Amino acid sequence: MRDRISGWRRASAESPVSMFSSLRVPNYRLYFVGQSISVAGNWMQNLAIGWLVLELTHSGTVLGVVTAARYAPLFLLGSWGGLLADRVDNRGLLTLTQTCSALLSFALALVSLSGTANVATVLVLVLLLGLVSVFDNPPRQSMISQLVPRPYLGNAIALNSISTNLARVVGPGVAGGIIATMGVTPCFFINAVSFLAVVGSLLVMRTSALVPTERVAKAKGQILAGWRYVASRPELRYPLMMVIVTGVLTWEFPVSLPLLTTGTFHAGAEAYGAALACLAVGSVVGGLVAARRRVVTVRSLAISALLWGGLICVASAAPTLPLAYVALTFVGSAAVTFSSMAKTLLQMECAPTMRGRVMSLWAIFWRGGSVLGAPLVGAIGTYVGPRYGLLVGGVAALACGGAVLALRFDRSPTAEVTRVDSELSP
């Protein structure tokens, strides 16, 4: 590991700092644009699903259950998706999963348009979307390492977070206005069409320019081997522990924010969309900072968890909606800083042949953690109070960040500095 780190340092000394290095790579640029469009559509659909469920049931608990259903397949089967990503061509797998997602979004649009939408139908379609995500998330994360040379991986991950959060600014803002004027149905249609951007970008990529990646031959015990691999390495284990806690309890904004805007401030869909947009604006700023970050350690990740948790606690106590918007902007910045740093540590510290399985664990707990967390946060927000649904996430982030700092991981022999080569330019 020391040789690898010294090599990164030499490369850094020879290359000027550039925040947008990875966008000079044509294949990554295609991926960046396609993902930005598609994620905007996804966030429109997420807001529309949440609003539709609240219109049908007026229950935060049911909303939590539906949100959990979206991630239940990922939580239960995510390791198989990661193993498949290590075995097969990621570009072909992503093309298939994006096509399936488009068809399911179109089905949601038809159900909504026909006026036959009910909780059971929405739940089934959401479960199917979750099943597709089992095989979509690992190759989506692993694909980045095939699009850019290794020195630019940290930068590419950070820029991908920026594209995701720019889309989160556009998506919820547009969706809030559409829902207020035309209802939820157009959001589903728009999302179905947005998947064409990703499929198109994948199809026109230059295969010869992809970074070669060794594929894993089929054998027994490979999923368990992935778990053992992470458990045996502190530089992977501790980041994943923090991802587990925050993924289950902290990253539950699709549940906590609609309850906060409707229950505490008695506002409508536009306010929920604005809250998500403020969260995303802050995330863009956090992503820009992460793109220039020179080093990432487990200790700095723990500090970012503490900062994120403290800001969420402040947001939960905001006395007015405008002040909540301001606080959520800072929350978003801290959230993407934590997420980007965690993904960078996991991808940079794992072997290429393990990357799909390692990143599937990130997806299982960061996204799939909603299976456990969403109903709990929804119930707390409904029966204790919307502010407490948000507060529990802040306390959880504070707790896990403080616990890892107490371990003094940065003083251990294995705590080498991981360089995020976001500063390297081609």
80-92, pLDDT tens digit by residue?
A: 888 888 888 889 9
pLDDT in tens, 282-331: 887 887 777 666 677 889 999 999 999 999 999 999 999 999 999 999 99
Q: What is the arithmetic mean of pLDDT over 196-202? A: 92
Asked whether the predicted pLDDT for residue 271 surpasses 60, the reply is yes
pLDDT in tens, 210-227: 887 777 777 788 889 888
Q: Topology of domain 2-205+221-423, per CATH?
A: Growth Hormone; Chain: A; (1.20.1250)
**Per-range mean pLDDT, top range of 38-42, 260-264, 398-402:** 398-402
- Distance, CA of 22 to CA of 312 (rounded, Å): 32
What residues have CB less than 8 Å from 114, skipping those under 6 apart? none
Q: What is the arithmetic mean of pLDDT over 369-396? A: 90
* Residues above pLDDT 70, as percent of the chain: 90
> How confident is the model at residue 306, as a pLDDT?
96
Dihedral sign (CA 246, 248, 250, 252): positive
What pTM does this model have? Answer: 0.71
> How confident is the model at residue 70, as a pLDDT?
82
Asked whether the predicted pLDDT for residue 11 surpasses 50, the reply is no
Structural domain spans, the chain: 2-205+221-423
Mean pLDDT in the chain?
83
**Residue 424 — very low, low, confident or very high, per pLDDT cuts 50/70/90?**
very low
pLDDT in tens, 125-181: 999 999 998 899 888 878 888 888 877 777 787 788 777 767 766 787 788 889 988
